[in-house]
Amino acid sequence: MLSKFKLSTAATMVAASLALSACDTNPSSENKSSVQKTYTVQDVNNFIAETEKELVRLNNEGAKVEWIYQNFITEDSADLSAAAAQEYTEAGVRFALQAAKFDDIEVSDAQRRKLNILKQALVLPAPQDSAKSAELAKIAAELGGMYGKGSYTNAEGEKQSLGDLSAIMASSRDYNELLDAWQGWRTISPKMKPLYEREVELANEGAQGLGYSDLGAMWRSNYDMSSDEFAQELDRLWGQVKPLYDALHCHVRAELGEHYGEDKVPQDQAIPAHLLGNMWAQSWGNVYDLVGPEDADPGYDVTEQLAKHEYTEIDMVKGAEKFFTSLGFEQLPDTFWERSLFTKPADRDVVCHASAWNLDSQDDIRIKMCIQKNGEDFSTIHHELGHNFYQRAYKDQPVYFQNSANDGFHEAIGDTIALSVTPSYLKEIGLIDNVPDESKDIGLLMKMALEKIAFIPFGLMVDQWRWKVFNGEITPENYNDAWWQLREKYQGVQAPIARAETDFDPGSKYHVPGNVPYSRYFLAHILQFEFHKSLCEIAGNEESIHRCSIYNNKAAGAKLNQVLEMGSSQPWQNAHKVLTGSEQMDATAILDYFAPLQAWLDQKNQGRQCGF
């Protein structure tokens, strides 16, 4: 996940309460006057120049504050984080309101883009009231702290962290043990509900002050298309992928029913959420042993190979860095290795959720992870470094454009690289001795689908829920019920036990209390396959698309870097066209990638009851 700090990363926080820019330095006199001030192009130029200086300072100061908070969670650091949040949101709202005053001024395309970015940058806009702004900042920090310090004490008196509980979810095949872990983590979130309800009220007020109907409409406006068009685009892309997901769901449900019994996994209902190997049932790779094809073992397990070759956490990061340098990118700076957090400290609370940071808008790039030596984290590290290499690629852009073409691009880049972590690549770096023949591809594709395809509807429904919360369609008394209705609709997944109105299961997912928009992850899962296919074509790949690795291909690296260096200086459609040849996203690259698996699933599902 990308750090949420800096305007350039759709930040919610940072910096100081500011005077209005040079083009409007005496607002009190204007308020007293009945004459509407007439703005000029020079006013716009002055505003953009002055604001750019402030943004660089605010971004960098705020990023440092938040880095300290997430690495040292205390009441003092929480207060500092809350203060930074209030200061930044107040500044951000002021910038946005001022930018809106120039809507009718004829300016260059670059200037208009900068003004629009200022209007849309805040994820959590504060009301134009200092008391409410302070309240919103305090709530945001408190929710983040609740999540970061969350734990569950089981019946034996053992205190279990999210990492402990997630390990149980991944490895246990005991129905009741899984249920206890699933329930346990959800004990952290009911107390979040009243805070979240108030946060929604305040953030909606802030969004309305900027001219949006609600916060969801504001979030959706950040994609170089209208809010409604963006929602329709997500539905279109989901429609392309849904047949493959439905086939995967049917197979997984049948196999889980065989293992646990159809009394526990009814074949005409949604799958109980605690049986899919992940705390949120968002990816299903951990149940591969129950649902994978017979005789499809490729002969290796990345987790086992990492242990066999005595990889440390740092070795894992070095390996991911080598992939990027093989494409022609420069090595990570020494400060990355000196300042990143790679393992969970034993002596303090930290936010372990993996994230990538740039603390100075230039070269102070870092990751923050509590790395576990397994195949999943090996892939996650590639994802996080993708953010870091993207951040460094666009560092010479103005601060306004120090971002990805859209936030889905940022999430997709590292995953695009991870798609090249194929058996041939693993052999090349010495992790395995032999490349399995194509008869083993169904197993590898199944593992990939359990991670990637299983995630796509979850990636869609999180913001579907929030958009309905923000526009009032979902009310606080229906928060939890609506959450599970959407999960059943999109994922075919249900709560394993009855849930109460007082529960707040959305709060058990980091991105909800952390106020991180989630559509970016849905888009990333579409884009990464598009990007992979295009880069493989550039690299001259002649194998099946799922067997392609662009490792060591400088031509593919150069084309990728061309897109990264653009930052957000142009509409995302332009960046997309540079890499794919088209301005429209297209999920059929996913279908091409998984075509052999789709045929296998269709055969296996004959005679089964599918649907949910």
pLDDT in tens, 559-589: 999 999 999 999 999 999 999 999 999 999 9
Per-residue model confidence as pLDDT tens digits over 113-143: 999 999 888 888 888 888 998 999 899 989 9
**Per-residue model confidence (pLDDT) at position 82:** 86
pLDDT of 3: 61
Average pLDDT (11-31) is 31
pLDDT at 121: 80
348 versus 605: the higher-pLDDT residue is: 605
Question: pLDDT above 90 covers what percent of the chain?
Answer: 75
Rounded to whole angstroms, the Cα distance separating 445 from 591 reads 12
* Angle of the 41-71 helix axis to the 109-120 helix axis, nearest 10: 40
Active site residue 384: yes
Mean pLDDT of 160-189: 96
Residue 299 pLDDT exceeds 90: no
pLDDT-derived band at 51, boundaries 50, 70, 90: very high
Q: State which of 5-9, 84-88, 453-457 shows the largest mean pLDDT.
A: 453-457
The identity of residue 427, as a single letter, is K
pLDDT at 7 over 80: no
Q: What is the pLDDT of residues 371-426, one digit of tens each?
A: 999 988 998 898 899 999 999 999 999 999 999 999 999 989 888 988 998 989 89
Catalytic residue among 87, 384, 411, 530: 384
How far apart (Å, rounded) are the C-alpha atoms in residues 416 and 484? Answer: 31
Q: Can you give the pLDDT at residue 120?
A: 83
Strands (E), 40-176: 152-153, 159-160
Task: Check residue 563 and give its pLDDT.
Answer: 97
Mean pLDDT within 147-176: 94
Angle at 481 between CA 479 and CA 482, to 5 degrees: 65
Element (H, E) at 358: strand 355-358
Sequence-distant (≥ 6) Cβ neighbours of residue 148 within 8 angstroms? 70, 73, 349, 350, 351, 352
Q: Does residue 369 carry a pLDDT above 80?
A: yes
SS3 353: coil
Q: Say which DSSP state 272 is in.
A: E
In order of 196, 269, 498, 502, the CA distances from 478 in angstroms are 13, 22, 14, 10
Indicate the domain borders of the chain.
Answer: 7-142
Between residues 415 and 306, which one has the greater pLDDT? 306
Mean pLDDT, residues 242-263: 98
pTM of the model: 0.84
Helix axes 519-538, 407-418, angle to 10 degrees: 50
Q: How many helices (H) and strands (E) does the chain have?
A: 24, 6
Pairing of strands 355-358, 365-368: antiparallel
Q: Among 9-13, 160-164, 193-197, 259-263, where is mean pLDDT lowest?
A: 9-13
- pLDDT score, position 2: 66
pLDDT in tens, 507-538: 999 999 999 999 999 999 999 999 999 999 99
Tell me the CA distances in angstroms from 376 to 170, 284, 382, 418, 432, one per residue in order.
11, 12, 10, 11, 17
Indicate which residue of 382, 387, 511, 532 is catalytic. Answer: 511
Mean pLDDT of the chain: 90
Task: Give me 384's structure tokens.
Answer: 């996080």
321 is annotated as an active-site residue:
no
Please, are residues 184 and 154 in contact by the beta-carbon 8 Å criterion? yes
For range 165-189, the mean pLDDT: 97
For residue 93, the model assigns a pLDDT of 81
- Averaged pLDDT, 255-278: 97
Is residue 602 pLDDT above 80, yes or no?
yes
For every residue of 482-549, which 3-state class applies, written as one string? HHHHHHHHHHCEECCCCCCCCCCHHHHCCCCCCCCCCHHHHHHHHHHHHHHHHHHHHCCCCCCHHHCC
